[in-house]
Structure 1
Amino acid sequence: MDNARNEHHWQAIAQGYDLEPGPINLENGYFGRMSRAVLEQYQEHVAFINRSNSVYVRQRFEQGANVEIRRQLAELIGADPEAIAFTRNATEALQSLIRNYNRLQPGDQVLISDLEYDTVKGAMRWLAGHRGVEVIEIPHTHPATFNSLVQTYRDTFTQYPRLKLMALTHVTHRTGLVMPVEAIATAAREHDIDVILDGAHALGQIEFNLAELGIQFAGFNLHKWIGAPLTLGFLYIAPERLADIDPDMGEFHYPATDVRARTSYSTPNFPALMTLPWVLEEHRALGGAAAKGARVRYLRDLWVGQVRTLPGIEVLTPDDPRLYCAITAFKFVGRDQQVMTQRLLQDYNLFSTTRVGASFGTCIRVTPGLATSTADINVLVRAITELNTG
């Protein structure tokens, strides 16, 4: 944590990112920036692939670099390289897993919560029409605690004995709530319920090992907290569970024994993939998820600690260190949150975003990034304090 507070250290790192003039960006949850060094590598790879076309890809990338990149990604999450398949993003990975999960029968139940990503909710609801299953959706109590979250799932598993599959988001995109994945997955196994984990916001800012979490199916982004170019994600299927996910729409380019058959075969963004070794080396050099996560949590704590007790402000993300990361959501009580988001931008030059869909209604999401300074956070604190009384 001491290094997380070292402003000189992190502002030196911030100098490696090019920032467009304009508002202070506190919406780093959409996607992350590439560093200048990564961007230069990416641009070189774009030019190279444009020159070499399919010659390099067919002769070298598919049999060489591709294998090494999968090995490095597997090391990142403590997995077998043969359990990983590239996708364009976490959404594509999760949709493939949900669509091709083959253990459902008509009358079975599947589970989502109000905090799941909307496309994940949509994919689970799609199962109702195509597999004849019943979708159970639960709201999470607010404010959430570690025990309340686990107990909500335990109660749900008991109440709905026909549950066979559930979606679970590691870091919820609406509020940044970090779910107690290991405890929930353990409870799910006791009821023979499979978990598909949305790890989009977890990878790169939270240290975890999928085997230790007890997760067999997951989807991830590489362009949020890892620092890769856009259009990169991957899915994970535990090797012993591969047969429970069908090849995607009869995919035939890879054998049924290959995890890569579980997502659509298409021409990927080769320059982006070729940049990944550089991205992962930079991630490790910065100290990995431990150092990056500690820094953005420190920035989060700076503003939350000063506004949580203000009358008229409701911080929606708990302070239990097990349950939060960089992302935190709040409300101006009794105000139109979209209007207040515009006031933050117009009056204080602070760019944030609103999130909807949770049981507590609309909220304002604040997400610092590696280029965010404590001075930026001070502007946010002043803005919230003044707007709260004005």
Structure 2
Amino acid sequence: MPRNADNELHWQAIAQRYALEPGPINLENGYFGRMSRAVSAQYLEHVAFINRSNSLYVRQRFEQGEQVEIRRQLAGLIDADPEAVAFTRNATEALQSLIRNYNCLQPGDQVLISDLEYDTVKGAMRWLASYRGVEVIEISHTHPASFDSLVQAYRDTFAQYPRLKLMALTHVTHRTGLVMPVKAIAQAAREHGVDVILDGAHALGQIDFNLAQLGIQFAGFNLHKWIGAPLTLGFLYIAPERLADIDPDMGEFHYPATDVRARTPYSTPNFPALMTLPLVLEEHRALGGSAAKGARVNYLRDLWVSQVRPLPGVEVLTPDDPRLYCGITAFKFTGRDQQVMVDRLLKEHGVFTTLRTGAAFGTCIRVTPGLVTSAADINVLINAITELNKD
């Protein structure tokens, strides 16, 4: 176990850096993360400053130079060339831009999605069928999943559908926290001439990865989930050698066609949030980055899963293969209405979770600890599941 992952005093001190609203234990930290007190304070200062200075500062200083340094720091987060990244409001916007502007499709080509993709990504890929004349191939992964079954599912699909040209792939699935074997799948896709657009919304900040080593050339990310940035910050990545394969967004002309920023809608961004990003990245590094954050939430995940998995009336849907899970994990009470159980966890035990639907295995309850979650909080969850399972 990485150093400090199970050190409650260490993480209790870190938790003090965040302001918490009194109330239920929040185990739905997957929606968006918290800003630290320092980040929140600086963000509010920037809001007030931009409101006072208005466009004078933005036109004269931010647009002319400061955003260049912020973009450079962002690229450093994923060891990328600054010319390969462009800010968006979130991962969804980034992924939609990549999908709709991918220009290597011809009528009759095929594109691929699975049941584990984010619904908006599925919708964008289906949109291609209407506007590009392509066929959408949809697969459902077998449950329980294994590393080999996931990779083989894609190898079989590539062999069965030789007209596949593009696929969506989610690094960390938002329903169960399943970590897909991205490198192996991307390698198989490359062997069959299939491009991959990676949804990295839940991966960035809790999993260490290198896009080049994974073989990924197109990706979208969030900064407000596990990095700790204000809401409305995300970005897209396009490998420089593949920039020409993504068109400027709807004829975007504010940047030249050789600039990756032309691949996103041009609009007034959240300047205060962008100005706060250097502090966000500094804090992320100081905490130990994705390695430390991931180790902590994985430790908390293991605490409850190890106690709950043996229960006869509970099914944990995320495998225990360390290659395939992160801090996010889903379960279900067998033979029960999962929404009712989510409500009972909150009302009877003060534990806030969320319902997830859309995968082949059906409805589930997602549990996502965060940096402020303690082992004591996890024990409350364990006791709550155990008690509800007795009904």
Q: TM-score, normalised by structure 1?
A: 0.99
Q: Comparing 139-148 with 67-76, which one deviates more in the overlay?
A: 67-76
Q: Partner of 2:39 in structure 1?
A: 38
Pairing of 1:176-255 with structure 2 (within 5 A): 176-255=177-256
* Separation (CA, whole Å) in 2 of partners of 1:63 and 1:307: 55
Deviations 1:257-277 (A, max 9, x none): 000000100000000000000
Amino acid of the residue matched to residue 199 of structure 1?
G
Q: Partner of 1:169 in structure 2?
A: 170
Shift of 1:192: 0.4
Deviations 1:263-300 (A, max 9, x none): 10000000000000000000000000000000000000
* Separation (CA, whole Å) in 2 of partners of 1:300 and 1:388: 19
Given the alignment of the two structures, is residue 3 of structure 1 paired with residue 1 of structure 2, yes or no? no
Q: Partner of 1:318 in structure 2?
A: 319
Shift of 1:63: 2.5
Secondary structure in structure 2 of the residue aligned to 1:4: coil
* Separation (CA, whole Å) in 1 of partners of 2:65 and 2:349: 50
Amino acid of the residue matched to residue 266 of structure 2?
Y
Amino acid of the residue matched to residue 27 of structure 2?
L
Given the alignment of the two structures, is residue 140 of structure 1 paired with residue 141 of structure 2, yes or no? yes
Quote the sequence identity (%). Answer: 86
Shift of 1:78: 1.6
Deviations 1:95-128 (A, max 9, x none): 0000000000010000000000000000000000
Shift of 1:65: 1.9
Q: Partner of 1:15 in structure 2?
A: 16
Amino acid of the residue matched to residue 80 of structure 1?
D
Secondary structure in structure 1 of the residue aligned to 2:237: strand
* Separation (CA, whole Å) in 2 of partners of 1:213 and 1:332: 36
Given the alignment of the two structures, is residue 337 of structure 1 paired with residue 338 of structure 2, yes or no? yes
Deviations 1:362-384 (A, max 9, x none): 00000000000111000000000
Shift of 1:158: 0.3
Q: Partner of 1:286 in structure 2?
A: 287
Deviations 1:63-85 (A, max 9, x none): 32211111111111121100000
Contact kept in structure 2, 1:78 and 1:211, CA below 8 Å? no
Given the alignment of the two structures, is residue 28 of structure 1 paired with residue 1 of structure 2, yes or no? no
Contact kept in structure 2, 1:216 and 1:241, CA below 8 Å? yes
Q: Partner of 1:126 in structure 2?
A: 127
Q: TM-score, normalised by structure 2?
A: 0.99
Contact kept in structure 2, 1:182 and 1:213, CA below 8 Å? yes
Q: Partner of 1:62 in structure 2?
A: 63
Q: Partner of 1:364 in structure 2?
A: 365
Shift of 1:238: 0.4
* Separation (CA, whole Å) in 1 of partners of 2:72 and 2:182: 24
Amino acid of the residue matched to residue 183 of structure 1?
A
Secondary structure in structure 1 of the residue aligned to 2:12: helix
Shift of 1:204: 0.4
* Separation (CA, whole Å) in 1 of partners of 2:94 and 2:19: 30
Secondary structure in structure 1 of the residue aligned to 2:5: helix
Secondary structure in structure 2 of the residue aligned to 1:48: helix
Q: Partner of 2:73 in structure 1?
A: 72
* Separation (CA, whole Å) in 2 of partners of 1:63 and 1:301: 48
* Separation (CA, whole Å) in 1 of partners of 2:63 and 2:146: 46
* Separation (CA, whole Å) in 1 of partners of 2:69 and 2:195: 30
Q: Where does structure 2 lack aligned partners over 5 or more consecutive residues?
A: none
* Separation (CA, whole Å) in 1 of partners of 2:204 and 2:3: 22
Root mean square deviation, CA, Å = 0.6
Moved over 3 A (4+): none
Secondary structure in structure 2 of the residue aligned to 1:329: strand
Shift of 1:209: 0.7
Shift of 1:2: 3.5
* Separation (CA, whole Å) in 1 of partners of 2:367 and 2:265: 34
Amino acid of the residue matched to residue 144 of structure 1?
A
* Separation (CA, whole Å) in 1 of partners of 2:245 and 2:305: 43
Q: Partner of 1:97 in structure 2?
A: 98
Shift of 1:59: 1.1
Secondary structure in structure 2 of the residue aligned to 1:20: coil
Shift of 1:55: 1.0
Q: Comparing 68-77 with 139-148, which one deviates more in the overlay?
A: 68-77
Secondary structure in structure 1 of the residue aligned to 2:120: helix
Amino acid of the residue matched to residue 234 of structure 1?
F
* Separation (CA, whole Å) in 1 of partners of 2:323 and 2:51: 46
Amino acid of the residue matched to residue 189 of structure 1?
R
* Separation (CA, whole Å) in 1 of partners of 2:80 and 2:181: 20
* Separation (CA, whole Å) in 1 of partners of 2:285 and 2:264: 28
* Separation (CA, whole Å) in 1 of partners of 2:90 and 2:64: 23
* Separation (CA, whole Å) in 2 of partners of 1:2 and 1:206: 16
Deviations 1:228-249 (A, max 9, x none): 0000000000000000000000
Secondary structure in structure 1 of the residue aligned to 2:311: coil
